Structure 1
Amino acid sequence: MLLTVKHTTRYAFAGEVRHGLQRLRLKPKTSHGQEVIEWRMDLVGARPEAAYDDQHFNRVDLVSIEPSAPEVVVTCEGVVRTADNNGVTGPHTGIMPLWCFLRPTPLTRPGPKVRQLLAGIEADRSDILAYLHTLSRVIGEQVEYVPGASDAHTTAEQALVAGKGVCQDHAHVFIAAGRMLDVPMRYVGGYLRMDDRDEQEAGHGWAEAHVQGLGWVGFDVSNAICPDERYIRVATGCDYAEAAPVTGIAIGAGETSLDVHLSVGENRVGMQQQQAASGGQQQVQGG
């Protein structure tokens, strides 16, 4: 599938910014299951300072806010070719050892509710892949998807206690429980092509578990599926905080308002052109 993305993030400041830095994880990379055909980032009210790969091999752009800028606007546009690999992204790579993905983080530290969740699942843990699918289903049943029910600081335990949350919370509960089973877990932030619309309110988040013999396998608890060709992976981390698209500081900014516009669609024209160039043979299986 050939997907097109346009993602605009606008920060408006009530005060005059004296100094500000933002760390942007907004550029997807070519990896197992996806190929970045083109990608560009435009900045208003900020300028690039550095670009590097972080400890999770995410592409990071460090930008500084222009003094007294009333707002910062970051616009990303691109085209990504994706494939359906049944959620499998393959062997572990990078500088982070697998044991790092077993450590609890502030957002994924298990509490009584997470332990109770695991204790209530009567399934054979010897088939860990099947067990993780069961775990995903149970979390979806116990944590209702309710937009606005949580924020970026809500923990897995808090989401389970409340019984509601969003995709980030589903992923954190899954990660917290999986690590208690000694399964390396990580958070994934990216984009999802919705079946019924292009326009969306925000990006998407899901989890990946490292399963022996398969490598990293994705689980989208919110949609009760493994990621397919509709998904674009942008950043990973031990939890959302390490994969957040935008983090930073703005001294003197005062109250800050955020506005996000996101569109993820299928590039049917591009696919038709590729098929024609290859003699009409479809290279990527669509949805």
Structure 2
Amino acid sequence: MLLKIEHETRYNYDKPVQYGLQQLRLRPKERPGQRIVDWNIEIEGGALELSFEDQHCNHVDLINIERGRSEIIIRCTGEVENSDGSGVIGRHAGFAPLWYFKRASALTKPEDEIARLVASLDQDYEDDIVRLHALSAAVTDRVAYETGKTDAETTAEQALAIGGGVCQDHAHIFCAAARSLGFPARYVSGYLMMSDRVDQDATHAWAEAYVEHIGWVGFDISNGYSPDERYVRIATGLDYRDASPITGLRYGAGSEDMIVSLQVQQ
């Protein structure tokens, strides 16, 4: 499947920026089953300083915001060709070893809520894939998809206690619980072509767990199935902070507004 993506992020500042840097994780990963046909990033109000690969093999672009700017626009356009692997990514690669993905992060630290979720699972599943799908279903049973209840700093424990959240929260809870079960697990950010719309409000997030003799396997907890050819993997990490599309810092007083425009279509 050939997917066309147009993604624009616009930051408006109520006072001119004196100094600012942004890290962009907005270039899709090239891998078996996902081929980058064309990809371009344009910056208005800033300049590319350098590019590098982080420990998760994410492509990172470092952007310097032009001094005195009140607006910066980051525009991504491109085409990605995907094939359906039933969610199987395969062997582990990258600089971080597998044991690293059993670590708890600040957003995925397992405490009482995660322990209760894990304890609620049947211990007699026929194989690991069935167990992980059951975990995915248990997460959505406990945490309904609801916007406005959580934010980027909400932990897995907090989202479980609230009982509502978005794809980011579902992925964090799944990672925390899968690691508690002994599986290496990681957070994934990317794009999803939706069947009922072209225009979207944000990028998507899901999770992957490592299964012996199979490798990394994806689970879209929010939608209840494994990623197929409609998904474009952008970045991976222990949690949202590792795989966030844009992170940054700036000096100077004032606030900012962000407007996202995103289209994903065949």
Shorter-chain TM-score category?
A: over 0.9
Q: CA deviation at 1:126?
A: 6.2
The alignment partner of 1:41 has SS state of strand
Which residue type is aligned with residue 198 of structure 2? Answer: D
Aligned partner of 1:5 in structure 2 is: 5
Aligned partner of 1:49 in structure 2 is: 49
Aligned residue runs from structure 1 range 10-25, under 5 A: 10-25=10-25
Runs of 5+ unmatched residues, structure 2: none
Aligned partner of 1:94 in structure 2 is: 94
Point out the more displaced range, 123-132 or 193-202: 123-132
Q: CA deviation at 1:86?
A: 0.4
Aligned partner of 1:281 in structure 2 is: none
Runs of 5+ unmatched residues, structure 1: 267-287
Aligned partner of 2:174 in structure 1 is: 174
Which residue type is aligned with residue 81 of structure 1? Answer: E
Which structure has the larger Rg over C-alpha atoms? 1
Aligned partner of 1:222 in structure 2 is: 222
TM-score, length-normalised on structure 1? 0.91
Point out the more displaced range, 99-108 or 121-130: 121-130
Aligned partner of 1:109 in structure 2 is: 109
Aligned partner of 2:150 in structure 1 is: 150
Q: CA deviation at 1:129?
A: 1.3
Checking the alignment, whether the CA contact within 8 Å between 1:13 and 1:253 is kept in structure 2 is no
Aligned partner of 1:30 in structure 2 is: 30
What does the per-residue CA deviation read over 1:80-134, in whole Å, with 9 as the maximum and x for residues that have no partner?
0011100001100011000110000000001111100111112425621110010
User: 2:246 aligned with 1:246, yes or no?
Assistant: yes
What does the per-residue CA deviation read over 1:237-261, in whole Å, with 9 as the maximum and x for residues that have no partner?
0111000000011111510101000
The alignment partner of 1:221 has SS state of coil
- C-alpha distance in 2 between matches for 1:184 and 1:57: 17
The number of residues matched between the two structures is: 266
Which residue type is aligned with residue 184 of structure 2? Answer: P
- C-alpha distance in 1 between matches for 2:134 and 2:4: 33
Which residue type is aligned with residue 39 of structure 2? Answer: W
- C-alpha distance in 1 between matches for 2:223 and 2:235: 19
- C-alpha distance in 2 between matches for 1:253 and 1:5: 34
Point out the more displaced range, 69-78 or 29-38: 29-38
Aligned partner of 2:162 in structure 1 is: 162
Which residue type is aligned with residue 115 of structure 2? Answer: R
Which residue type is aligned with residue 204 of structure 1? Answer: H
